[in-house]
Chains A and B, each alone.
Chain A
Amino acid sequence: MSRPMQVSRYWRHFREKYRLIGGKCENGHVHFPKRPICPVCGSREIEEVELSGKGKVLSWTLVRNPPSGFEYYKPYPLALIELEEGPIVLAQLTDVDPEEIDFGMEVEVVTKKIREFEEDGIILYGYKFRPPVK
Chain B
Amino acid sequence: MRKAVIIGAGMTPVGEHWKLALRDLAVEAVLNAMDDAGIDKVDSLYVGNMISGPFVEQENLGSLIADWAGLGNIPAVKIEAACASGGAAVQEGVKAVLSGLEDVVAVVGVEKMTDAWPNDATRYLAYAADAEWELFHGASFVALNALVMRYYMKTYGYTEEDLALFAVNAHTNGAKNPYAMFKRPIKLETVLKSPYIADPLKLFDASPVCDGAAAVIITTPEKAKELGVPKEKWVEVAGMGRAIDTINLANREDLLTLKAAKVAAERAYKMAGVEPKDIDFFEIHDAFTIMAALSLEALGVAKKGEGAKLAREGQIAIDADYPIQTMGGLKARGHPVGATGVYQTVEAVLQLRGEAPNQVPDAEVGLTQNIGGTGSNITVTVLRRV
Name A's B-contacting residues (CB within 8 A): 1, 13, 31, 33, 39, 58-71, 73, 76, 78-80, 87-92, 103, 114-115, 124, 126
Contact = CB atoms under 8 A, between A and B. Distances in A.
A67 B201 contact: no
8 closest Cβ pairs, A-B complex: A67-B123, A61-B146, A59-B151, A68-B119, A70-B138, A88-B250, A61-B198, A90-B250
Contacts of B136: 114, 124, 126
Contacts of B146: 61
A88 B249 CA distance: 9
A71 B119 contact: yes
Nearest to B151: A59
Contacts of A63: 138-140, 142-143, 198
B250 A80 contact: yes
A64 B251 contact: no
B249 A90 contact: yes
A61 B135 CA distance: 15
Contacts of A91: 137
Interface residues of B, number: 38
B147 A64 contact: no
A79 B143 contact: no
Contacts of B252: 88
A125 to B, nearest CB: 11
A80 B128 CA distance: 18
B196 interface: yes
A27 B131 CA distance: 29
Nearest to A59: B151
Identify whether the interface residues of A are mostly helix, strand, loop, or mixed.
strand
A72 B333 CA distance: 33
Contact of B138 (A13, A60, A76, A103): A76
B150 interface: yes
A72 to B, nearest CB: 10
Most buried by A among B135, B142, B198: B198
17 contacts: A13-B132, A59-B154, A61-B147, A61-B150, A61-B198, A61-B201, A62-B196, A62-B198, A64-B197, A65-B122, A66-B138, A78-B198, A88-B250, A91-B137, A114-B136, A114-B137, A126-B137
Contact of A31 (B196, B199, B251): B251
Nearest to A103: B154
A13 to B, nearest CB: 6
Most buried by A among B137, B142, B154: B137
B156 interface: no
A89 B250 CA distance: 6
A59 B119 contact: no
